[in-house]
Amino acid sequence: MLDVMPRKSNTARTQTELGFIAEVARLAGSHTKPGKALALGIGDDCALLRPPRGQVVAITTDFSLEGRHFLRAVHPPESVGHRALARGLSDLAAMGATPLAAFLSLALPPRVMQTAWPEKFLAGLLALAREHRVPLAGGDTAQSPDNNILVDIVLVGAVPEKISLLRSGARAGDKLYVSGSLGGAAAELAVLLQSPKKFSRLHQAASGHPHLYPQPRLTLGKSLLRRATACIDISDGLSTDLAHLCQRSSVRAVVNTATLPIAPTANLKQALHGGEDYELLFTAPASQRIPKKIAGVAITCIGEILPKKKSAPPCQLRDAAGKLSPLAAEGYEHFA
Ligand SMILES: [Mg+2]
């Protein structure tokens, strides 16, 4: 946990690894203090967690690599911090889990250590952590051997042992639902890449910026524990994540194009294949009443689950006239 490898001393707060760790602990503030689930946070060889009785531990890890998941020249550092944590929180949301603690490992090029980048990155990450009451409970820092930033996030959550929300629970006859709107993140990214300067001024976690500041659906996820049969978060695009859900559940799905909640800024292609919306895609029995809004987030029925059939592709689109066409998994990695 937060290994300390002191190097050339420097007076500025974040410019040595020791100073950086002290700064992380200071900025994390009360959120690293031991609480109910976090028995011991930053400062020892390990953090100690105490999952609530009757719950099992959920763990997810995510890399955010410069050049692949973000571009230093266009993404504000606050957004890089926010998005790194949001990805992991969204995975917890998809399992109906409650976050217990986050662990952050960071490799920074020496030149980046001399700038305000680390502090701004942390501010973005910790603002989202505070919003969801996730303590930052440890991690590691190292000097990056090349000129790239590498962020690794581990999130630990808890989920009731006897009720699980998996990708594999969808059954023929279930309805297919999605939260929020689709394609907004891909649409915002397209604008961002065209005029990076416009975005460099956005330093606050703001709503209406689905690419820079996506909102993980944790409250919704928890409320789906007793309602949904299967769930996945949309990180790679609806087409790709629906294919994962169908494969894990051994079913197929038909999506009604006319019912898709396409973000006002997005087109159909972005809604179907654009990644990083971090909405929840879930199934529920047709007899299960699903409200139009859960935890303030709109819920839309976009299709249905059918038995697997050799002659039909695993995912299909149905247009307004009822004509079916295959929905290929074409979600993509933006900077791959
Ligand atoms: Mg996921």
Integer CA distances (angstroms), 101 to 50, 133, 278, 284, in order: 10, 9, 20, 30
Judgement on whether residues 184 and 305 belong to the same structural domain of the protein = yes
pLDDT of residue 296: 95
- Domain contains 154: yes
- What does the DSSP 8-state code read for residue 259? G
pLDDT of residue 8: 37
Report the separation in Å between the CA atom of 86 and the middle of ligand 1, taken as the mean of its atom positions: 11
Report the separation in Å between the CA atom of 85 and the middle of ligand 1, taken as the mean of its atom positions: 13
Report the separation in Å between the CA atom of 214 and the middle of ligand 1, taken as the mean of its atom positions: 14
Report the separation in Å between the CA atom of 207 and the middle of ligand 1, taken as the mean of its atom positions: 21
Query: Do the beta carbons of residue 159 and residue 55 sit within 8 Å?
Result: yes
Q: Residue 214 region, left (φ>0) first, then alpha (ψ -120 to 50), else beta?
A: beta
Judgement on whether residues 83 and 171 belong to the same structural domain of the protein = no
Report the separation in Å between the CA atom of 23 and the middle of ligand 1, taken as the mean of its atom positions: 30
| Dihedral sign computed on CA atoms, order 253, 258, 263, 266 | positive
Report the separation in Å between the CA atom of 332 and the middle of ligand 1, taken as the mean of its atom positions: 14
Report the separation in Å between the CA atom of 196 and the middle of ligand 1, taken as the mean of its atom positions: 28
**DSSP annotation string for 55-70:** EEEEEEEEEEEBTTTB
Provide the residue range defining the domain that includes 280: 167-326
Report the separation in Å between the CA atom of 31 and the middle of ligand 1, taken as the mean of its atom positions: 25
Q: Give the end of a domain, one of 103, 137, 160.
A: 160
Report the separation in Å between the CA atom of 24 and the middle of ligand 1, taken as the mean of its atom positions: 27
Report the separation in Å between the CA atom of 22 and the middle of ligand 1, taken as the mean of its atom positions: 32
Report the separation in Å between the CA atom of 6 and the middle of ligand 1, taken as the mean of its atom positions: 36
Report the separation in Å between the CA atom of 131 and the middle of ligand 1, taken as the mean of its atom positions: 20
Per-residue pLDDT of the chain (336 residues; tens, 9 = 90+): 443 333 333 334 555 666 666 667 766 664 555 668 888 888 888 889 999 999 999 999 999 999 999 999 899 999 999 999 999 999 999 999 999 999 999 999 999 988 999 999 999 999 999 999 999 998 888 899 899 999 999 999 999 998 889 999 999 999 999 999 999 999 999 988 888 776 666 555 456 799 999 999 999 999 999 999 999 999 999 999 999 999 999 999 999 999 999 999 999 999 999 989 999 999 999 999 999 999 999 999 999 999 999 999 999 999 999 999 999 998 865 565
Judgement on whether residues 261 and 187 belong to the same structural domain of the protein = yes
Report the separation in Å between the CA atom of 323 and the middle of ligand 1, taken as the mean of its atom positions: 31
CATH assignment of the domain containing 40: 3.30.1330.10
Judgement on whether residues 173 and 115 belong to the same structural domain of the protein = no
